[in-house]
C-alpha cells in the first residue's frame, strides 16, 4: 500500500487541504458546519490524490528519464500503469461524489474543473511550451475556491482574493524548483522556462515580477475587511522578504539562491494563512 500512497503525493495533498480549509473558514458565516467541512476535506483529498495518480500514469515515461522521479511507483515497476490508472480514476470518482453529496454541486464542479484542467491542459503542455506553468497555476490555485464554495455555496470577492494570492505565489515557487532541476526536466522533455531559456534571464524576471505583484494582492484581505491591521503588517513583511529572496537571484543564479527562494515560498504561504486565520475580523 505504501506504493499506492506514494502515487497520491501526500505532501502536496496536505498543502492543498490547508488551502481548502482556509477557503472554507472564510466562506463560513456563523458557526462552522463541521460535517460539511469533513466532507469537503475528504472529497478534496480524494480528488487531489486521484489527480496525482493519474498524472503519474500519464507522465510515467517522462518520469523514467528523470533522476528525481525515476523511483516513482510506475517507472520503478512496482505498480503497473493499468492499476495506477484504475486507482486514480476510482479516487477521483469517489472524491467528486463526496463533494457533490457532502457539500454541494458547485464544490464538486470546481473540483472536477481543477482535475480536468490539470490533466488535460497543464500536463500535456509541459512537453510543448513553458506557458504550461501559467496554465497549471489556474487549477493549482483552486483549493481556496473549493473550500469557500463548500461553506457558502457561492463565490464572492473574498474567495477570489484567496485564489489570487495562491495563483501568484505559485510562480516564484515553481520557477525556483524548475531552475534547480532544469537539467533533469530537459532529460524528461519537460519544456519549463529554464529549459527553453537556459540563461535564466526570463526565469528570474518572472520570479521577481510575480513576487512584487503578490504584495498588493496579499494586502487586499484587510481592504475587504477579511482581516485586520495585524495581518496587514505581517503580510507586508512576508511579501518584502519574499521579494528580497527573488532579488537575490538576479545577480547570482546558483543552486543555493534558488533553494533560498524555494524556502522563502514554503515559509511564506503557511505564515500568510496563519495570519489570516488569527486576524479574521468576523465569523
Sequential DSSP letters for 99-167: HHHHT-HHHHHHHHHHHHHIIIIIHHHTTT-TTHHHHHHHHHT-HHHHHHHHHHSS--HHHHHHHHHHH
**Residue 282 confidence class, pLDDT cut points 50, 70, 90:** low
CB atoms within 10 A of CB 267: 14
pLDDT in tens, 238-254: 999 999 999 999 888 89
Taken in order of first residue, the domains within the chain and their CATH numbers are: 1-155 (1.10.357.140), 157-283 (1.20.120)
**Phi and psi angles of residue 269, each rounded to the nearest 5 degrees, phi first:** -65, -50
pLDDT(222) > 70: yes
pLDDT(51) > 90: yes
Mean of all residue pLDDT scores within the chain = 94
Q: Which grid coordinates belong to 2?
A: 505504501
pLDDT in tens, 81-93: 999 999 999 999 9
pLDDT in tens, 12-47: 999 999 999 999 999 998 888 999 999 999 999 999
Task: Spell out the SS3 assignment of 56-108.
Answer: HHHCHHHHCCCCCCCCCCCCCCCCCHHHHHHHHHHHHHHHHHHHHHHCCHHHH
* Mean pLDDT, residues 103-129: 95
What is the pTM assigned to this prediction?
A: 0.94
Tell me how many degrees the CA angle 196-197-201 measures, rounded to the nearest 5. Answer: 150
pLDDT(268) > 70: yes
**Residue 70 confidence class, pLDDT cut points 50, 70, 90:** confident
* pLDDT of res. 261: 96
* Mean pLDDT, residues 103-131: 95
* pLDDT of res. 38: 97
Find the radius of gyration of the CA atoms of the chain: 19
CB 264 within 8 A of CB 241: yes
The share of the chain scoring above pLDDT 70, in percent, equals: 99
pLDDT(10) > 70: yes
Cα(264)–Cα(175) distance, integer angstroms = 13
pLDDT in tens, 122-169: 999 999 999 999 999 999 999 999 999 999 999 999 999 999 999 999
Amino acid at each position: 500500500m505504501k506504493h499506492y500512497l506514494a502515487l497520491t503525493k501526500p505532501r502536496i495533498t496536505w498543502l492543498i487541504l490547508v488551502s481548502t480549509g482556509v477557503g472554507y473558514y472564510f466562506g463560513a458565516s456563523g458557526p462552522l458546519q463541521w460535517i460539511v467541512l469533513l466532507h469537503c476535506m475528504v472529497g478534496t483529498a480524494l480528488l487531489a490524490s486521484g489527480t496525482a495518480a493519474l498524472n503519474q500514469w500519464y507522465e510515467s515515461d517522462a518520469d523514467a528519464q528523470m533522476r528525481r522521479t525515476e523511483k516513482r511507483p510506475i517507472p520503478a515497476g512496482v505498480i503497473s500503469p493499468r492499476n495506477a490508472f484504475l486507482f486514480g480514476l476510482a479516487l477521483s470518482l469517489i472524491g467528486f461524489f463526496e463533494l457533490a453529496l457532502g457539500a454541494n454541486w458547485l464544490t464538486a464542479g470546481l473540483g472536477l474543473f481543477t482535475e480536468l484542467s490539470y490533466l488535460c491542459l497543464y500536463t500535456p503542455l509541459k512537453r510543448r511550451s513553458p506557458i504550461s506553468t501559467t496554465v497549471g497555476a489556474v487549477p493549482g490555485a483552486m483549493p481556496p475556491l473549493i473550500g469557500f464554495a463548500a461553506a457558502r455555496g457561492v463565490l464572492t470577492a473574498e474567495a477570489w482574493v484567496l485564489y489570487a494570492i495562491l495563483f501568484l505565489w505559485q510562480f516564484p515557487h515553481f520557477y525556483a524548483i524548475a531552475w534547480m532541476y532544469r537539467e533533469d526536466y530537459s532529460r524528461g522533455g519537460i519544456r519549463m522556462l529554464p529549459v527553453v531559456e537556459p540563461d535564466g534571464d526570463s526565469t528570474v524576471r518572472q520570479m521577481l515580477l510575480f513576487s512584487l505583484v503578490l504584495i498588493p494582492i496579499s494586502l487586499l484581505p484587510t481592504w475587504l475587511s477579511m482581516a485586520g491591521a495585524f495581518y496587514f503588517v505581517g503580510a507586508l513583511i512576508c511579501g518584502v522578504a519574499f521579494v528580497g529572496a527573488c532579488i537575490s537571484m538576479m545577480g547570482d543564479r546558483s543552486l543555493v539562491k534558488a533553494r533560498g527562494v524555494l524556502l522563502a515560498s514554503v515559509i511564506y504561504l503557511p505564515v500568510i494563512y496563519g495570519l489570516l486565520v488569527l486576524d479574521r475580523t468576523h465569523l
